[in-house]
Each structure stands twice: as C-alpha cells, then as structure tokens.
Chain A
Amino acid sequence: MQEGKVLPAAQINRDLLRSILETPRWFWPVVSLLGAIVLAASITVGIMINTGLGITGLNYKVVWGFFITNFVFWIGISHAGVMLSAILRLAKAEWRRPATRAAEVLTIFSLMTAMIMPIIHTGRPWRILYWAFPYDFARGIWPNIRTPLVWDPSAILTYLTSSTLFVIIALVPDFAVLRDRTTGWPKLVYTLLAMGWEGNPRQWKLQIIAGVLLSALILPVFVSVHSIVSWDFGMAVAIKSWHSTVFAPYFVVGAVHSGVSAVVFAMILLRWAYGWQDYIRHEHIDALGRLLIVVATGWFYFLVMEIIFGIYGLEGDELAVRALQFLPGDYGVAYNVWMIVFVGITYFLPVILWLPKAWRRNLWIMSAACISVNVGMWLERYLLFVPGQANKQFQTFTWNDYLPQWPEALIVGATFAFVSMLMLLFSRVFPLVPLYDIKEGDILRTEMQVGRRTLTATFRED
C-alpha cells in the first residue's frame, strides 16, 4: 500500500499543470543562464569547425577524448527512461508513476545531446551526410555496414523514435486536459496534439494497449542500444583494454546506474522547483534508492570482472594499459588516483548513503549520492577510453598522453546546461508528471468490495 493521501482530480490537475499555466519567477533567469552557456559552447563549436580540431587536446595517439566520453555518458543517461517506464510498467511497480515521464523525456533529450557529440567530434562534420545516409546511388557506394559506427546511428535513432512515440502516447490524455484549460493559440496546438481524445473507454483501452505494447517492444532496443555503443570499443581489436566481450552487459548496467540516478536527481529538483511534494513523495525516492543499490552492485560486479578478464591473460600490452590505470603513472596525469576516486564515488559512497532508510528519504543525501554517481560514471568512461589509447600496443615508442583543453571542457559542460534547459522548457509546455497516470494510480489504490471478492475499481493493464 502506498503512502500519501488520495487527492481530488481537480487538485491534481491544478497542481501538476501549475508549471504550464503559471511562470515561476526563477524560470526565465535560469533558462537564460543555461541558454548563455549553450550559446557560448555553440560559438566554440563554430570556431572548432572553422579552424579544425586542433583547438582540442587530442593528439596523434589519443584521437577519441572528451567528446566520445560525453557521448557514451549521455547514451547511458538515456537508459533511465525505458528502465523506469517500460520495465517497471510491465513489472507493475506502482511507485514508478510520477517518475515515468521525466525519465522518458530525459531519455529523448539526452539521446539528442549524445548524437551531437560524435558529429562535432569528426574532422569534417559537414560531410556527415556521407556517413548517416546512403548516398552516391549512381556508383553504388553505401555506408559500410560492417562498422559499429553505422550500427550506432541505427540503434540510437530507433531508440529515439520509439521513446518519442512512447512519450507522445502517454501524453495524449494530458494534452486533452490542457486543451480544455487553455485559450487562444495554445489551445489550438493542444487540440491538434490531443488528436480528438475524449476519454471514452475505447480510447483508454487503446491507449493502455499501445503503452504496454510499446513497453515490450522497447525492451530489446533498451538492451541493444548501449550494447551497440559498447561495441564501438569492444570491436576495436587494436586497443587491448577495449577489446573485451564483457563490455555490452557492463555498459548496459552502468547506463541504468547513471540514468536512474540522474532521474532521481531531476525529480528532486522538480519537486522543489514546482512544489510537487504531494506527487513526488519520499516513498518514491526511497524505492528508487533501493533499486539503485541493486543496480550499483550489479555494475560493480561487471567493473571488477572487466578488470579481472583484462589481467587474467597476462598479456604484456594489456598489462601495460592496466598498469597505467592502476599504478602510479609515467605521465603527468595520475590515472590511478582518478581510478580510486571514481570507484569510491560511483559505488562505495552512494551505496553507503542509500543503505539506511532514513538517508534514502533525505532529499539532500539522495541528491548528493546521485550527483556523485554521475560524476563517477563520467569518469568511468574517461578512464576506460583514454588510457587504452594512450598505451595502445606494446610499441612503447608511440605511447602518449592526452590533456583536454578548454574548448572540450566548455562543450562538455554545456551539454549538461543544454539538457537542463530542454527539460525546463519542456516542463513549461507539457506536464512533466503524468496527470492521468497519477489519477490511475490513485484509483487503483481504491478497491471495491463486490460480495466476498475484493476487486480493483478500474480496468487494469493485465
């Protein structure tokens, strides 16, 4: 049984639509600040395209740096959406309800952000059409389907399409609520988006069937997207520490780890910003915290396995990379210090913070733990990718280090501002907590006595 009181539908509408119908005073200053950061980064990207990748810190040995790290990080964040809405929906976890849409929308925006990264990272982004779309029909030259770099856009675009469909289907009943509460041109937009929703039983049934079907259909995509992204690295035979078969499950679990943490943090922020205390309750954060302990421990298992598989073969060149990761280094950057920091802040610190129930219900502690996980997961990707390139093979003559420069740091920082800005703008236009889902949850909590049997009061998605 859930905590919290069952609120009247009118109040739910009023509370959850407050973010759309009223503008909080902090809204535009915050959005402008985020927009300024994004603008600065866009100008930097322009300079980079204009003068070449020379302004980054990449060199002849380490050719994939901050941008690819950031790409994988945002792909990882995007896994929160399906994890929370599809898997928990099929598992009928009631506490998922307020989190689903925030997670799905975060999925869409982080996928969009992630896709920018490999494009601006290429040497000639203006020729990217050659890569992304079949071209040159006359000479029969098509993109090379043997490369993970072609599987990547296919998987990511599939995921983006299905997540967008998923969000839109869930939004239709809420569009109808908005259609009835707005005037002028917004009403016209919402009317079009609501697609004639009246809330009759047939429409509800179709909407629920579509939701369940999409949940089930997205699940394979959920597993495949990050597996395919991990094959960008796993398929690279020349880089010893990348060429590993454990990468796919390791990356998927790691993605859920960072993604769910990001959603928890976003929910805490929204609860505070829009005063949604009655909807995003402590029990939800608590449940997500318990889920995260399991996910984090699974991730930690794969982390240890990845290292053990690496050193088990006792190959000189693989050991050289591991030495760079774990032993005091020859280079200026001490990767081993970062490694200790990363394992500490990605597993031990947050899991300790999630263990006591009182701490799981303390929003400050939860925020700290979730930020710590995400900083750690970003570091994880960096420490996985860069040392492998620095000490690639046992030709020590070519070993080289990488020192990121300010344009990369600024662009990477701005991606966080970009996603936050998109989330805020979205919350101004669409309800970020699903109205009908909350109401449905409330109704499901009320049960009817018919004779001797206890029945749920409404149609259930069985």
Chain B
Amino acid sequence: MPNAQFEHKWGMVADLDKCTGCQACVIACQAENNIPINTKDYFLQRRAYEWIRIERYWEGEYPNVKARFMPVLCQHCENAPCEPVCPVFATYHNEEGLNVQVYNRCVGTRYCINNCPYQVRMFNYWHPNWPARMENQLNPDVTVRTRGITEKCTFCVQRIRRGELKVESQGGNRLNDETIAGGNYDPACVQACPTNALMFGDLMDDNAAIKPYFDDVNAHPGHGEHDRETRGYRLLEEMATKPSVIYLKKVDQYPLPGKGGH
C-alpha cells in the first residue's frame, strides 16, 4: 500500500462573517489538548494561554461601536518563520503540511515564539496541574506537556491519526469526507463551532469544501487581492509565510458611519 498518510495537505478556513466570538472553540481546544486551566493567577501573570484565541477588536467610538472577532490559531505556514530558528529541530514541517512541535526535543529557547508573527506559540512557565478530580478527564491521545517547553496548535493531529487508523482498518487508503463521515477527523475547534465559522479539510482532496478559497487566494496573491472572487485572505499576507489558514472577510451590512464596509 502506498504511504497514503502523506497525501494530505491540511488547511482551514475561518469565516469571520459567521464568527460570533462565543469562544466555544477555545474551550473545546482546552479540553481536547490537555491545556492547563487558565487560573486568575495565570491571567495576572499574563501567562494565560490558548492554542486558539478569539481576538476581540472594537471598531468605532462609543456609542457607535462594533465588536469584531477573529479566531487566531497556529497558521501552519508553508514558509514558517518559527522552523528555521529552532536550534534543535523541535519544530519542523511534516509531509502533511502541518507545522509540528516535538515536545520531547524542545529545550525552551523561545526563539520560535519571538519569530512567530501570529503569536500562537505558547511557553509553559509553570508545570501544568489540574484539580485532582479532573485528572481522569485528560485526553489520553495528547501528551501532557511539562514546563519549560513551547507548544502550539497541532490541527488536532491525534484526530487525524485516529481517522487514518480507522480508514485503514476499514480497508480504505485515504482519509477524507467519504471514508469518514461528517468530518469526524476535524479539529476540536471546528467540531465545536456552533455557527460553522471554521472549516477544515484536505487541500489535496478536490472535493474539499475549503479548496475553492485556497485556489482563489493562491491565484491572486499579494497585490492581486482585489481580483479575488471569494472573501478570502491570509493573515499578515505581506510576511510571505503562506499560512494554511484562510480568513473570509466580514460582510458588514450596516457599516458604521464614515466606514466603507464590505
């Protein structure tokens, strides 16, 4: 059997028009990936961390004010600035387009955190701990990270692997929406999103729902932004990091006075 697991290029689309800023994705990620509970102390030390965060921006001045929300997670850049700066190869690009972090190898120089333009890499300043009654709820598929290392969103690689195993056990050789129904290999944030603002898929799969957006954005890069047919754009496109996450612009039906809106 050809090594089918390499025939993937995972990507995500975040529709800002659908995002309500409910933070369900944040909690789902927290539970799925064994992220320590962000206590009051952690917030006061400014060390609270989430693998996906909802950035909230205010537009306009009170009382004509609107809240804007943007989920930001690891962009799994094809040209990731975090990768070349790690002295021990703790972070590298795997064959499925994922930017992976090897916890066991990381020594904690934190250069990758500095070199990530999206600020999605998080450092464990303390040893993580949970209340005793919660220790049995930890996800057995995900490593509990120790202190002193950097961690970040994995696109829930454990779910992808589980899906691949299931496909293999059913005699298939390719993980996609046909072999595993209902996107059961989606990351926790995608699965939890009540408005389906997040979409996950395989760019190597021609039927994937996210593919048209990527094709459109790739066909009109950089300055060709205005020729795009979809609302797609990449975060900090001018950095040329080629993220595997595409954002769809908000459709502002009732723009604030003085604002053009889209």
| Chain A residues numbered 17-63 whose CB sits less than 8 Å from any CB in chain B | 51-54, 56, 58-61, 63
Closest to A143 in B: B87
* Cβ–Cβ contact A63 & B123, under 8 A: yes
* Cβ–Cβ contact B48 & A149, under 8 A: no
Most buried by B among A144, A150, A393: A144
Which stretch from B6-14, B114-122, B173-181, B183-191 is at the chain A interface?
B114-122
In the assembled complex, the Cα of A72 lies from the Cα of B43 at a distance in Å of 30
Closest to A393 in B: B117
In the assembled complex, the Cα of A141 lies from the Cα of B55 at a distance in Å of 38
Tell yes or no: A79 within 8 A of B by CB.
Answer: no
Chain B residue contacts of A52, Cβ below 8 A: 124-127, 147-148
Chain B residue contacts of A141, Cβ below 8 A: 89
Tell yes or no: A298 within 8 A of B by CB.
Answer: no
Chain A residue contacts of B119, Cβ below 8 A: 60-61, 392-393, 395, 398
Chain A residue contacts of B110, Cβ below 8 A: 63-64, 122-123
Chain A interface residue count: which class?
Answer: 35 or more
Which stretch from B101-109, B130-138, B208-216 is at the chain A interface?
B101-109
* Cβ–Cβ contact A60 & B147, under 8 A: no
Chain B residue contacts of A392, Cβ below 8 A: 117, 119
Interface string of A135-159 (1 = CB under 8 A from B): 0000001011011111000000000
* Cβ–Cβ contact A60 & B49, under 8 A: yes
Q: A53-B125, A149-B111 are in contact. Are A238 and B81 (CB under 8 A)?
A: yes
Chain B residue contacts of A398, Cβ below 8 A: 55, 119
* Cβ–Cβ contact B84 & A144, under 8 A: yes
* Cβ–Cβ contact B116 & A122, under 8 A: no
* Cβ–Cβ contact B56 & A397, under 8 A: yes
Tell yes or no: B246 within 8 A of A by CB.
Answer: no
Closest to A122 in B: B108
Chain A residue contacts of B107, Cβ below 8 A: 122-125, 127-128, 130-131
Most buried by B among A51, A123, A125, A396: A123
Tell yes or no: A207 within 8 A of B by CB.
Answer: no
Tell yes or no: B250 within 8 A of A by CB.
Answer: no
* Cβ–Cβ contact A130 & B46, under 8 A: no
Chain B residue contacts of A99, Cβ below 8 A: none
In the assembled complex, the Cα of A127 lies from the Cα of B149 at a distance in Å of 11
Chain A residue contacts of B256, Cβ below 8 A: none
In the assembled complex, the Cα of A58 lies from the Cα of B89 at a distance in Å of 24
Tell yes or no: B88 within 8 A of A by CB.
Answer: yes
Tell yes or no: B72 within 8 A of A by CB.
Answer: yes
Chain A residue contacts of B148, Cβ below 8 A: 52-53, 122-124
Closest to B120 in A: A398
| Chain A residues numbered 206-262 whose CB sits less than 8 Å from any CB in chain B | 232, 235-239
Chain A residue contacts of B146, Cβ below 8 A: 124
Tell yes or no: B47 within 8 A of A by CB.
Answer: yes
| Chain B residues numbered 30-64 whose CB sits less than 8 Å from any CB in chain A | 45-49, 55-57
* Cβ–Cβ contact B87 & A131, under 8 A: yes
Tell yes or no: B85 within 8 A of A by CB.
Answer: yes
Tell yes or no: A100 within 8 A of B by CB.
Answer: no
How close is B118's CB to chain A, nearest CB, in angstroms?
8
Tell yes or no: B142 within 8 A of A by CB.
Answer: no
* Cβ–Cβ contact A60 & B86, under 8 A: no
In the assembled complex, the Cα of A268 lies from the Cα of B87 at a distance in Å of 41
Closest to A403 in B: B46
Tell yes or no: B113 within 8 A of A by CB.
Answer: yes
Chain B residue contacts of A59, Cβ below 8 A: 45-47, 125
In the assembled complex, the Cα of A396 lies from the Cα of B55 at a distance in Å of 9
Chain A residue contacts of B251, Cβ below 8 A: none
Q: A58-B125, A60-B123, A144-B87 are in contact. Are A238 and B109 (CB under 8 A)?
A: no
Tell yes or no: B4 within 8 A of A by CB.
Answer: no
Closest to A128 in B: B107
Chain B residue contacts of A128, Cβ below 8 A: 107
| Chain A residues numbered 66-112 whose CB sits less than 8 Å from any CB in chain B | none
Closest to A130 in B: B88
**Cross-interface CB contact of B115 among A121, A123, A130, A237, cutoff 8 Å:** A237
In the assembled complex, the Cα of A237 lies from the Cα of B109 at a distance in Å of 17
Tell yes or no: A367 within 8 A of B by CB.
Answer: no
Chain B residue contacts of A164, Cβ below 8 A: none
**Cross-interface CB contact of B117 among A51, A127, A237, cutoff 8 Å:** A237
In the assembled complex, the Cα of A237 lies from the Cα of B111 at a distance in Å of 11
Closest to B119 in A: A398
* Cβ–Cβ contact B149 & A124, under 8 A: yes
* Cβ–Cβ contact B56 & A237, under 8 A: no
**Cross-interface CB contact of A149 among B56, B72, B109, cutoff 8 Å:** B109
Chain B residue contacts of A325, Cβ below 8 A: none
In the assembled complex, the Cα of A232 lies from the Cα of B112 at a distance in Å of 11
In the assembled complex, the Cα of A45 lies from the Cα of B115 at a distance in Å of 26
* Cβ–Cβ contact A64 & B114, under 8 A: yes
**Cross-interface CB contact of B85 among A60, A143, A235, A400, cutoff 8 Å:** A235
Chain B residue contacts of A420, Cβ below 8 A: none
Most buried by A among B114, B117, B148: B114
* Cβ–Cβ contact B81 & A54, under 8 A: no
Tell yes or no: A389 within 8 A of B by CB.
Answer: yes
Tell yes or no: B239 within 8 A of A by CB.
Answer: yes
Q: A64-B114, A389-B114 are in contact. Are A124 and B72 (CB under 8 A)?
A: no
Tell yes or no: A118 within 8 A of B by CB.
Answer: yes
How close is A395's CB to chain B, nearest CB, in angstroms?
6
How close is A116's CB to chain B, nearest CB, in angstroms?
15
How close is A47's CB to chain B, nearest CB, in angstroms?
13
Chain B residue contacts of A60, Cβ below 8 A: 46-49, 119, 122-123
Tell yes or no: B236 within 8 A of A by CB.
Answer: yes
Chain A residue contacts of B105, Cβ below 8 A: 130
Closest to B123 in A: A63
Chain B residue contacts of A63, Cβ below 8 A: 110, 113-114, 123
Q: A54-B47, A59-B47, A123-B108 are in contact. Are A396 and B57 (CB under 8 A)?
A: yes
How close is A388's CB to chain B, nearest CB, in angstroms?
9
Give 10 nearest A-B pairs by CB, closest first. Answer: A123-B108, A123-B148, A59-B46, A397-B55, A238-B117, A63-B110, A54-B125, A149-B87, A124-B148, A52-B147
14 residue pairs from A and B, CB less than 8 Å apart: A52-B124, A52-B127, A53-B125, A54-B126, A63-B123, A118-B109, A122-B107, A122-B108, A123-B148, A124-B106, A124-B107, A130-B105, A147-B84, A149-B87
13 further interface pairs, Cβ-Cβ under 8 Å (given A53-B148, A146-B85, A392-B117): A52-B124, A54-B125, A60-B47, A60-B48, A123-B124, A123-B148, A141-B89, A149-B85, A150-B87, A238-B115, A238-B116, A239-B114, A400-B46
